[in-house]
Amino acid sequence: MLRVGIVGAGTMGRTHASAYMKLPNARLVGFTDAVTDAARRTASEFGVQAFDSYDAMLERVDMVDICTPTPTHLELVLKAASAGKHILCEKPLGRTLRQCEQMIEAANKAGVTLMPAQVLRFFPEFKQARDLVLAGAVGKPAAIRTRRGGPYPRAANDWYADFEQSGGPILDMVIHDFDWLRWTFGEVERVFAKALTFKGLDHIDYALITMRLKSDAIAHVEANWADPGGFKVDFEIAGDAGMIAFDSRSAMPLTVAKQEVGGGGGGVAVPESPLAEDPYMLEIKHFVDSVQAGQRPSITAEDGMKAVEIALAAIESVRTGKVIRLGGGA
Amino acid sequence: MAVRIGMMSFAHMHAYSYAHCVKLLEAEGKAQLVGVADDDPQRGQHIAQQYGVRFYDSYEALLNAGVDAVIVCPENIKHRPLTEMAAKAGKHVLCEKPLATNKTDGRAMIEVCKANGVQLMTAFPCRFSPSYIRLKQMVEAGELGEVLAIRGTNRGRNPGGWFIVPELSGGGAVIDHTVHVTDLCRDLLKSEVVEVYAEIGNGFCHGDFDDTGMLTLTFANDVFATLDSSWSRPKVFPTWGDVTLQVVGTKGLAYMDMFAQNSTLYDDRDMRISLQHWGSNVDYGLVSAFVESVATGKPVPITGEDGLAAAEVAFAAYESARRGEPVNLPLPG
């Protein structure tokens, strides 16, 4: 039985907590959060303990699950590693490559498992697309497009809007797509990107990123924090023998529209895509099972760092207007 | 008075649709399809017969047959010589896109038409799409606020034939599919492209021509856009391709999928699923506007300069891919 402590009692902390509650080989011990009240509220919701400090929580657990804003990851990881605790850390692993390196070093030295929560690998549409690609379903991939985003995200202290903390949608959001692209199609050769990130706009950001992969395929990634029409994801993998296309808008098996109270008028139709196995649950199960079996998880900390490297290259391209080549020693 | 129109070459398949539109205008008493001339006599005769018009065995003969204007649809590299012939004969020209395969040819075409007092219009039918017109109205009315970025696609399939012989086409997918969306962006933003970056490949057909293009455009007003001009649609794709624009503004986002007005046909005999388009005919809007300009003498809505500006983005894309870096516009020369 793996004892689990979650740091960060926001949306992702709760999502992860629900998963641990269902696992037979893990036990959620409690939460800690920079905002003590938030930790208390969430802890009581799950019937677990709220810790006043991270250090206090570390003493009572075998692993920590880090669901806090990106720049806090380094210190939390280093402390957990030196306390000999295994670590599941939200993406992006670090705000900088140096931070990622320090985390990897610390985890290796302490002999603990460090896995970045690149949960997209557990989303069935993305996992299936990769399986199909590897099985040759589209032949050799030539042009890949992904789109992710919706309204500007809101969170505690509006931290997404602080580029120094979040890295904007390129680092915070489409890091998912970068990781999936690497996992599915291999390493990135060069990146060119344009974005609204540094234009001083109020709560609107948008980026279009073009990449040349080492395989010679061309990939185009859209990062959208400028769409009031709701969160959408799509991808298209076109190869020399076929194409795979996915659009979250057309993959909704259930839509419910409720009459407004009092009748008449227009309600809003809410689409849903229910799954028997929640991707977050699969991710956490994989981590817990790997730790208990003493095996390396399928997503390594190095994978987390590589995804950060691609994102930072895209941001550098936005800043400089230049093509950024990867793998030149980061 | 009906505008008398001659068709110069059917090498580009769009010519069939344009001829059909001339016939529609003929029924309205606005135009008359006078005849056809084509380097390929068999093709030309067949089409002439189909429309019940005369086949002329030379372009000169067609130009001497009392036409007011011509529609020029040969292989891309022949746009210049045919336009020059027509202009020197005093005929107005509607020229298929891309206007030219290099800047020198494009300039020469614009100049010869000016010198001979005839109009030169570039065939950008997407400008006449009711969905695009509606989008443009919304942008102009400020409904999206200030436009910040555009994501465009104009994807299709490898058309084969002369399209994949760069000596005749001037390139592959990039020269074929860059100009439509570039023109729409220029028209929507009222701003010129000042920088182009392109990743270009041949991963679909593995030929000596490009079939994949991912362009990044920056406009003088600081708006950026990407444009996917690839021939990436599979053989079993249910339609020819697409023209899409996603416009991101300070007050909202608009998404246009220009040819989305379809029903789906599931055909057991052909073992094929296909989209049956029921949206408006954009080519009719194009040909109709050309005919009206010729009839009234008012300026054509899409000029030779518009055609060249869009084509120059494709030239710059090739240059960018060669150099591996962004390229500034205007190009020298």
- Kindly state whether residues A105 and A134 are assigned to the same domain: no
- Angle A60-A65-A70 from CA coordinates, rounded to 5°: 130
C-beta of residue B290 within 8 angstroms of C-beta of residue B70: no
- Kindly state whether residues A81 and A144 are assigned to the same domain: no
Q: Looking at the DSSP assignment, which residues form a beta bridge with residue A269?
A: A257
- Kindly state whether residues A111 and A149 are assigned to the same domain: no
CATH of the domain at A248: 3.30.360.10
Interface of A with B in 81-100 (CB under 8 A): none
Assess if residue A287 is contained within a domain: no
* Ordered structural domains, chain B, with CATH: 3-125+283-301 (3.40.50.720), 126-280+311-328 (3.30.360.10)
pLDDT at residue A269 in the model = 81
Q: Please list every residue in chain A whose beta carbon sits closer than 8 Å to the beta carbon of residue B236.
A: 242
- Kindly state whether residues A127 and A272 are assigned to the same domain: yes
Q: Which of A117, A142, A174 is the last residue of a domain?
A: A117
Structurally, chain A folds into a number of domains equal to 2
Q: Which of A117, A148, A181 is the last residue of a domain?
A: A117
Whether A266 shows a pLDDT value over 60: the answer reads yes
- Kindly state whether residues A108 and A129 are assigned to the same domain: no
Angle, in degrees to the nearest 10, between helices A301-320 and A175-185: 120
Whether A330 shows a pLDDT value over 70: the answer reads no
- Kindly state whether residues A126 and A258 are assigned to the same domain: yes
- What tens digit of pLDDT does each residue of A47-99 get? 999 999 999 999 999 999 999 999 999 999 999 999 999 999 999 999 999 99
Whether residue B226 and residue A208 make contact (CB cut-off 8 A), yes or no, is: yes
CA dist A177 and A174 (Å) reads: 5
Q: Which of A85, A117, A149 is the last residue of a domain?
A: A117
Distance of residue A227 Cα from the nearest chain B Cα, in angstroms = 6
The mean pLDDT of chain A is: 96
Nearest by CB to B201, from A216, A222, A226: name it: A216
- Of B175, B201, B212, nearest to B76 (Cα)? B175
- Kindly state whether residues A109 and A233 are assigned to the same domain: no
Q: Is the ipTM of this complex over 0.90?
A: yes
- What tens digit of pLDDT does each residue of A136-186 get? 999 999 999 999 999 999 988 899 999 999 999 999 999 999 999 999 999
Helix (H) or strand (E) holding A41: helix A36-46
- Kindly state whether residues A171 and A317 are assigned to the same domain: yes
Assess if residue A298 is contained within a domain: no
Whether residue B204 and residue A321 make contact (CB cut-off 8 A), yes or no, is: no
Least CA distance to B156: which residue of chain A?
A: A238
Parallel/antiparallel/unpaired status of strands B3-8 and B31-37: parallel
Assess if residue A310 is contained within a domain: yes
- Kindly state whether residues A37 and A167 are assigned to the same domain: no
CA dist A122 and A314 (Å) reads: 25
Range of the domain at A207: 121-280+306-325
- Kindly state whether residues A196 and A247 are assigned to the same domain: yes
